Structure 1
């Protein structure tokens, strides 16, 4: 078994470190966030993920996982740090470079550096350049230099796990391992084959970096098509949920469901890395990002127009996270919508989300925003906005909202209604449940 040092103990690094420790490796995880380190060492992850606490507690109790704020020497170094966007939708690689600089003094002959952070094409090669500058005593590989002799190995293995299913997908998903050289890739394979039960697909580091980006760009484009359809349907007075449902009866059509936008650490960010690398050649990718970024603003405009019916309306927003059944707020369109609504001084905003225990910093200091339970949100609301399809919300009774104005951006009520042959409202349409029933009666007559 190997000694492994994991840089970054967030949504990717911590599950990976715990999984490696569970397979017998000696793992040291480090993070600059001292509060997160303290929480992890007490056996409590600083975010919720099913079964992670159990796996973490076992790894700590056996001594195979140690967590601290500094790196140590190891056979393998995994970089799992953020790659956010900065002004102008450009990639911010400062966290990756900082992690690389941190581990450089700890490298030894035979060490393997694995970049898991989603990154623009060429980032893995730039890590080689930084390591070579910091450690002139080590021979560092160069891209596709098959004949060279090197002291360390460097590769890119992009993460492919979904919040809420991380531990299962760590084991069951295919992984791509892109080496600076083939020998680098094979060194990465030797580690991942100890816990991945699916295929390990070997390629070069540039291809591996690009594959991760196009996976998320493809999903972004498909979501943008659905979101654009919802806005067109609203303009034309068509029920987008019924239109998509009927179109998907075609054997070669599979349109996704629209929503309030796109969030999370991948789909809302990664396509911009491609645009930044080839701005004149990535027009479709750029437009899809712009459509999805526009959607939350469109939802806010709809709600504000509705609010004019009331003197000082109470708007209850169901859901704050970026997707259903997780506590992750990163790039959440629901959070963006609530924040934008709260800037209207004539609105009182109630927020309910079973996965959020307290208002995030962006909302905490706003006097017209309160976190409440779903029943209080329903009772007090003039306008109800469904933003995230949490499992708990799917059990809500449509009849309870008969006297409310409803903006259903995710077709939540339509899930229950369609079971009774009733079609839901458009992601951008605004109606009461009574309006939905009237429409349904016409459709099923």
Structure 2
């Protein structure tokens, strides 16, 4: 390429000079993807460097950012930061990814990488970004991948892909993987201070430049690892650790009635030992990350991975187990689930987040419908049409007390549910999937904890007997 930009890769300037140039806005940055993780990242980059172009395929998103607006809800500090950075000219947005690439010396990719129906990583959006970057790539540029990809992607895909389409040779530009370690609702804090930043390049110079850049982004430690593939694995290992750990908690929770103990109490007590960190059980695992990460690994290895796949099976079975537990609790109270009106509280996969990807609520609703219940669903984060798409009748929180409910299932404990007047309901049977209710004056069964109110020890023994009979009749919980 004939164009020259002050790239940092292979620069003969001192590290201090490179940092000053970065902070002064002399090293233009393009961030590809302005979603719930990309917009916070672009805003933080803008604050640190003063020269960021955000790229997104949505004209509405781009228009909003350029007007100083923030489309990502419930992200503390982000609306103010976006407005501040656009007003001072440090952040702008475009749908023209090629134009953005031509003007940038640092390219940051943070686009979705979902799975196909065959549980293979879908890199179509990722490769579309690579196409655009290749058309604007210049010697000295650094390409940073933040979105989750299978191990080996940076080395085996990104470098040859860019080299082939840009006309540059590998070694004229840098590539590093720097995993996003951010949770919704705390993105700015996570990006800038909560966790160390992991960086790993396809070569030593890529790692050096990535570490230098992120040293200006985060107040936390920057940890260089051996190579880009190692950094890619770090991100996945974090997710599969949580998936396997949650599966352990869920399997222990399923033993509650056989053991006759409060499993959550036992877990909490066990965790006082510093070498034990069992997570909390629940009605399933949702979101954009944890349910998918095992397949990013299994899709790229020949070795058997029975632990990862078994953990997925356990966690995938929990929504049906939760619905079946409600069936058993109703049976123990002398009532049938068929024809019962059941409210599912929470359809998003996490409290306070308007996201439904892989939400356990979907499986709970499906199973309740299969059991013949009339299913209502309440979620203050979602419009009615989204709630209805899961097969439940949407009901507002205000309207809930007017419904003649027989039972309820807490799937996602939004803070808005704290104000529910449980006394407004008569003779309710409740399954608490997250252990947030306590004694509400109704018969409550907590996943892992067992009966919380409305049942004596004698009744609890009767419940266990009825549950065994019901399990035998229905093929066992979760099956």
> Does the C-alpha gap of structure 1 residues 371 and 110 become closer, same or farther in structure 2, counting only changes over 3 Å?
farther
2:242 aligned partner: 219
Give the equivalent residue in structure 2 for 1:40: 65
Deviation at 1:299, TM superposition (A): 1.8
**Is 2:226 aligned against 1:201?**
no
Q: Does residue 66 in structure 1 map to residue 66 in structure 2? A: no
- Any conservation in 2 of the 1:407–1:428 contact (CA below 8 Å)? no
Equivalent residue in structure 2 for 1:98, among 119, 122, 128: 128
CA contact 1:114–1:156 (8 Å) conserved in 2: yes
- Are the equivalent residues in 2 in contact too, given 1:233–1:240 (CA < 8 A)? yes
Alignment pair present for 1:325 and 2:352: yes
**1:158, distance to aligned residue in structure 2 (A):** 0.5
Deviation at 1:402, TM superposition (A): 6.7
Answer yes or no: is 1:389 the counterpart of 2:413: yes
61, 71, 77: which one aligns with 1:51 = 77
CA distance in 2, matches of 1:437, 1:335: 33
Greater Rg by CA: 2
Aligned to 1:434: 454
Q: How far does residue 438 in structure 1 lie from its aligned partner after superposition? A: 8.8
Q: CA deviation at 1:436?
A: 7.3
SS at match of 1:5: strand
Match of 1:77 in 2: 107
CA distance in 2, matches of 1:51, 1:266: 24
Alignment correspondent of 1:262: 285
Q: Give 1:232 deviation, angstroms.
A: 1.9
What is the distance in 1 between the residues matched to 2:280 and 2:456?
18
Instruction: Give the SS at the match of 1:380.
Output: coil
Q: Could you say what secondary structure the match of 2:150 adopts?
A: coil
Q: Secondary structure at the match of 2:108?
A: strand
1:392 partner SS: helix
1:293-372 paired onto structure 2 within 5 Å: 293-303=316-326, 306=330, 309=336, 312-342=339-369, 346-360=372-386, 363-364=388-389, 366=391, 368-372=392-396
The CA deviation at 1:341 is 3.5
> Is the Cα–Cα contact under 8 Å of residues 404 and 432 in structure 1 kept in the other structure?
no
Matched, 1:23 2:48: yes
- Closer, same or farther in 2 for the Cα pair 1:310/1:347, shift >3 Å? closer
What is the distance in 1 between the residues matched to 2:40 and 2:380?
23
Runs of 5+ consecutive residues of structure 1 not aligned to the other structure: 141-149, 418-422, 441-445
Provide the secondary structure at the position in 1 that maps to 2:79.
helix
For 1:46 and 1:92, the matched residues in 2 are separated by 25
What's the TM-score, normalizing by structure 2?
A: 0.80
Map 1:131-146 onto structure 2 (within 5 A): 131-136=162-167, 138-140=168-170
- The Cα offsets for residues 212-236 of structure 1, whole Å up to 9 and x where unpaired, read as 1111111111111011111122454
CA shift, 1:155, in A, is 0.7
Check the 8 A contact 1:156/1:205 in 2, yes or no. yes
SS of residue matched to 2:351:
coil
Counterpart Cα distance in 2 of 1:335 and 1:374: 23
For the pair 1:111 / 2:141, whether they are aligned, the reply is yes
Q: 1:410 and 2:434 equivalent?
A: yes
For these two proteins, the number of residue pairs brought into alignment is 423
1:165-184 matches, within 5 Å, as 165-172=186-193, 173-184=195-206
Q: CA deviation at 1:250?
A: 4.5
Correspondence for 2:296: 273
Task: Verify: 1:243 aligned to 2:266, yes or no.
Answer: yes
* 380-389 or 397-406, larger mean C-alpha shift: 397-406
CA RMSD of aligned residues (A): 3.0
Match of 1:153 among 153, 174, 185: 174
Q: Report if aligned partners of 2:431, 2:444 keep a CA contact under 8 Å in 1.
A: no
Structure 2 residue runs of 5 or longer lacking an equivalent are 1-24, 461-479
2:361 and 2:401 mapped to 1: Cα distance? 16
